[in-house]
Structure 1
Amino acid sequence: MEQVNLFPFWLSLKTALISTVFVFIIGMMIAYFVAKKDFFGKSVLEAIIMLPLVLPPTVVGFGLLYLFGKNGFIGKWLMAQFDVQIVFTWYGVLLAAIVVSFPLMYQSAVAAFQQYDRNLEYVAYTLGKSRWNVFWTISFPLAWPGLLSGTVLAFARALGEFGATLMIAGYIPNVTDTIPIAIYFAVESGEMGVAKFWVVTIVIIGFIAIYWLNWWSRKHMMKHKQ
């Protein structure tokens, strides 16, 4: 088999981990607010958040390229203010991973915050507990199974992102070549051994993540039934 450069593995792992931390924090905050509040435009906001889940990845990538490119208003602002370029850099890889994995985290988090009895929170408020204290002692523990599920799914989605990443970050060896991109260009260049190696690698990682989540969920449900 051809010699395999392990850079795509470390880049994909780093990107998936960092993007998952980001979408966990932001997704949990937005989901908690949306789940507890009714406000004008709520349905529109949720539709916008979930849009990357149903759009073709190339469309998502084009949107990111349009906004964060050198001529995009966000891209221009970042370059002028911070001298930061998103397109064809690792930042583009990270941005694509965040955008495509965010809906999975948000969807799971909203469901998690809506499934338990809110009277438990109201009782805590009547006892003088602050919102911050109620969130971390009641809301977060009760919603944790759903939050964990969203986290694992978001990680797996970020790890396997291809279309949007290729649009905004391109293929630059040892800079933006994640595992999915490495697979595509290995096949394009006829390096089938390298492609098979990465296919097996990402399938194993994805299988382990989903298998562990299912195992943990069953164990958690059995524990609460006892």
Structure 2
Amino acid sequence: MTVRVLVVDDEPMVCAHLRTILGAADGVEVVATASDGAEAVEAVVLHEPDVVLMDLRMPGVDGIAATARIVQLPNAPHVVALTTFDGDEHVHRALAAGAAGYLLKSTPPEELAALVRVAAQGHAVMSRSAARSLVDRVGDEQVARRRAAARLARLTDRERDVVALLGEGCSNAEVARRLHLTEATVKGYVSNALDKLGFTNRTQLGLLAREAGLGRK
């Protein structure tokens, strides 16, 4: 199956660069580009991409606001934030808005298409070290940990076990193997946790687990 991608960036050269890289990859097609957040929302409705590569810092409607709008659309695509610097303070806000992960604009061309395919499958595109650095930026660590633990208290023990492994970056299959469950059962626990916490994707669950001090190896 071909992964349909929308590229959003206010720099034409960046859009052209990403279109060239992804256009040369097997199984990936750039269906459109957009130069701001408002245009991105319209392009999602019009072109129905599987993945949106979203620049965060744009004039007008920025990438964070656009992400929040897009993830609420019917059959919403997976939004992946694009940033220049690892640890950009906007990244945590984008993840909270519903982004399924983030990529640096400097990601090597040979890796970019593979990561886009991973995102299209609904998996988080974010290194464990990057996730850890994001959590470290959330105010006072002890306060953040207490608040996160209080939110996780809404879950059952088994749901917390699953979320803790998401915090380690585990896939559903890895969680199932480690907890001796079926993958379908794990998906059910993830879905229940998302509903109880008001989240839209598993990346947010993983970050919450890390904030609470879970999921650390």
**How high is the TM-score relative to the length of structure 2?**
0.23
Higher helix share: 1
Higher strand share: 2
Q: Is the radius of gyration larger for structure 1 or structure 2?
A: 1
Q: Which has the higher contact order (CA 8 A, sep 6+)?
A: 1
